[in-house]
């Protein structure tokens, strides 16, 4: 377990508590209480180190990005991770503003937010199904934020940290640009060298490992970047495939949150636009990816054997044995995964 390991007879691994709960009481009534107890005990007796997370998202086209960011903040609340930065990978500024609004909502307004600054990449109404509403609400009490280029934000985070886990829940264009970046005022290392020095692994929501002929959304939106990253990323990539999250429906707790909650707004507005009615459930591709990046030995999922994973010119997933990468495999039912994630998205 990367962030901590408790192997005494008194306690099980912390991540086991996110699934095992004999009384089946709500996660935030039982697991949070026990988690805090274990963390306090651990800090008194062991050397404690949190995971450092850099999140890259296309927040705007679908609402589960917002759910994943909420989940990441809840795990950070429990001192399981530190959020170094969040970068946005489309040209829609409302998406980056929505990221900033969510970070502020969870009392982490100091987190650096980076913006993909190439024009006309995934712009338009399809990619602002809820972000404009969040932005408008945010700007009622805030000035328009300015965002630095996403690659510079990532390079700054990596230059000043080691053992970083990158989590990608959108297209891979920002990561491809990071790999292509040259030495600069931030670091004398080029992108590949900087990643090799500072990143321990990268978790990517992408591909389909049950149906290799399926052209998964995050890949086909920028096949060239997906191919570049899959072939050139110098440290292990863990892929979270499309098949894992489709039938894991989360967001139920958001209905009971205040209307100003930007994550509630994301789920509500997305469902109104796409489904024609207000609802608070959505598939959980991105929350699963974030959860597994932080809780790396979760009993809910396991890793495949090492693989070579890349993508063909149509975006189909190519998998062969060997290599440094792998993909996640579900160990528990959709309902069991859903129960855990739902208690972290609010």
Question: Does 160 lie in the same domain as 30?
Answer: no
Over residues 179-201, the mean pLDDT reads 99
Task: Give the chain's end-to-end CA distance (angstroms, integer).
Answer: 26
Distance, CA of 225 to CA of 304 (rounded, Å): 24
Helix (H, G, I), strand (E, B) or coil at 208: coil
Are 56 and 26 found together in one domain? Answer: no
> What domain range is 27 assigned to?
1-46
Q: What does the block give as tokens for 43?
A: 């800090």
The tens digit of pLDDT for each residue in 10-61 reads 333 334 444 444 444 454 455 455 445 544 443 444 444 689 999 999 999 9
Mean per-residue pLDDT of the chain: 89
Kindly state the DSSP code that residue 234 receives in the 8-state scheme: -
Alpha carbons 218 and 157: distance in angstroms, whole number = 24
Q: What is the pTM of this model?
A: 0.88
Tokens 């009993």 sit on residue: 299
144 with 211, same domain: the answer is yes
Q: Nearest 5 degrees, angle CA 40-CA 199-CA 16?
A: 35
Q: State both tokens at 18.
A: 């996110």
17 shares its domain with 143: no
192-224 pLDDT tens trace:
999 999 999 999 999 999 999 999 999 999 999
pLDDT tens per residue, range 137-178: 999 999 999 999 999 999 999 999 999 999 999 999 999 999
CB 216 within 8 A of CB 243: no
Q: Which CATH number do you get for residue 245?
A: 3.90.245.10
Q: Is pLDDT of 6 > 60?
A: no
Query: Are 143 and 178 a contacting pair, CB within 8 Å?
Result: no
- Indicate whether 238 and 209 sit together in one domain: yes
Residue 28's pLDDT is what? 47
Contact between 310 and 206 under an 8 Å Cβ cutoff? The reply is no
**Cβ neighbours for 41, distance < 8 A, ≥ 6 positions apart:** 11
Q: What tokens were used for 345?
A: 């998205």
């Amino acid at each position: 377990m990367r962030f901590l390991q408790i192997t005494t007879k008194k306690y099980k691994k912390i991540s086991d508590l996110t699934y095992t709960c004999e009384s089946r009481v709500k996660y935030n009534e039982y697991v949070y209480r026990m988690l805090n107890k274990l963390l306090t005990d651990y800090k008194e007796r062991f050397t404690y180190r949190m995971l450092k997370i850099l999140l890259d998202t296309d927040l705007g086209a679908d609402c589960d990005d917002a759910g994943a960011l909420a989940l990441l903040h809840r795990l950070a609340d429990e001192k399981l991770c530190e959020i170094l930065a969040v970068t946005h990978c489309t040209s829609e500024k409302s998406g980056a503003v929505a990221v900033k609004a969510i970070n502020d909502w969870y009392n982490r307004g100091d987190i650096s937010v980076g913006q993909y600054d190439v024009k006309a990449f995934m712009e338009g109404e399809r990619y602002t199904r809820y972000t404009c509403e969040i932005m408008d609400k945010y700007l009622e009490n805030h000035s328009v934020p300015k965002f630095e280029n996403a690659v510079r934000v990532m390079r700054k985070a990596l230059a000043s940290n080691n053992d970083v886990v990158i989590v990608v829940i959108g297209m891979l264009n920002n990561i491809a640009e990071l790999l292509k970046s040259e030495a600069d005022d931030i670091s004398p290392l080029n992108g590949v060298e900087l990643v090799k020095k500072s990143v321990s692994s990268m978790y990517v929501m992408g591909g389909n490992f049950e149906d290799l002929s399926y052209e998964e959304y995050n890949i086909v939106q920028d096949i060239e970047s997906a191919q570049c990253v899959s072939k050139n990323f110098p440290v292990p990539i863990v892929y979270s495939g499309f098949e894992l999250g489709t039938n894991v429906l989360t967001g139920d707790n958001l209905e009971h949150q205040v209307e100003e909650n930007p994550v509630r707004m994301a789920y509500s507005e997305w469902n109104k636009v796409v489904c024609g009615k207000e609802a608070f459930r959505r598939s959980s591709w991105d929350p699963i990816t974030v959860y597994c990046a932080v809780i790396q030995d979760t009993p809910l999922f396991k890793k495949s054997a090492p693989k070579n994973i890349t993508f063909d010119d149509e975006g189909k997933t190519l998998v062969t044995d060997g290599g440094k990468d792998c993909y996640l495999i579900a160990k528990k039912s959709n309902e069991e995964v859903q129960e855990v994630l739902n208690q972290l998205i609010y």
